Amino acid sequence: MSADTEGSRQRLQKVLSAAGHFSRRRAEMLMQEGRIRINGELATEMGVRVDPDVDVVSVDGKVVPLKTSALYIMLNKPKGVVSTLADEQGRPDLGAYVKQIGERVVNVGRLDADTTGLLLMTNDGDLVHRLSHPSFEVTKVYTATVKGSLDTAALRKLTTGVELEDGVTAADKAKIVGEPRTGSSIVELVLHSGKNRVIRRMMESVGHPVIDLHRKAVGGLHLGGLKPGTWRELSTLEVKDLLTLAHRADAPTKEPSNDRED
């Protein structure tokens, strides 16, 4: 066993260098400057060892990805695709995209078959557990085409709170976007609730059932110009932001439920 390793634990400098973040010398300088933390604790000991699969290392408050085999994917899910890797009813599913990606990745949460937009996929099990947990409320942005002419009273109700069968739920923001069409309106909703099919139920409650629903952002990640049915890997900066979000102080650590649909 080399001096740099001890079982699955390796010197922090070596881990950061192997993950492509810093040279060993640069990592040592950052430690001396008090800019690196391990599991929230300041890293000052030059010989400190970490396990890349277990420990959380942050630099200047941003969690850095240490798992060199981890893959983080953003998919623009098209309508009609169910959020499962293999569908028993033979409907289009995520299995086709997993084949394209070439790695065994799973979806983080779900979008129902009729909802389009941003769906995260990864082989990082810890991230899936954290972001899929029912108590983990991450900000999401949706665009919904709804029946009828949406007015300011309905918008106000969406942001002050709508009574649903599982409790009162409110959007962080709600605004009409674009020009309303004949017999329908387009509304943008920002909310952090993780309740099942919450947008559809909220809009139904205020008398404007959803016709089309699209998720364009999750936790600071945006689809941008990604076309329906296509995917891309997250950038290093996007991965850092995502991991930092997942490991925030109030993030859950218990086993999740991955059955929610938005």
What is the residue whose two structure tokens read 């559809």? 200
Contact 120, 73 (CB under 8 A): yes
Residues 77, 80, 82: CA angle, nearest 5 degrees: 70
Beta bridge partners of 145: 186, 212
Contact 190, 139 (CB under 8 A): yes
Residues 70, 247, 116: CA angle, nearest 5 degrees: 65
Residue in 112, 114, 126, 241 annotated catalytic:
112
202-224 b/e (C-beta count within 10 Å ≥ 16 → b):
bbbbbebebbebbbbbbbebebe
Q: Which residues contact 129 (CB under 8 A, 6 or more apart)?
A: 253, 255, 256
Burial class, 167, CB count within 10 angstroms (exposed 0-12 / middle 13-18 / buried 19+)? exposed
Instruction: Please indicate whether residue 112 is annotated as part of the active site.
Output: yes
C-alpha count within 13 angstroms, C-beta hemisphere, residue 12: 26
**Distance (Å) of CA 143 to CA 45, 110, 136, 212, 235:** 49, 17, 22, 8, 24
Residues 251, 252, 253: CA angle, nearest 5 degrees: 120
Tokens at 221, concatenated: 């990640």
Could you give the residue numbers annotated as active site?
Answer: 112
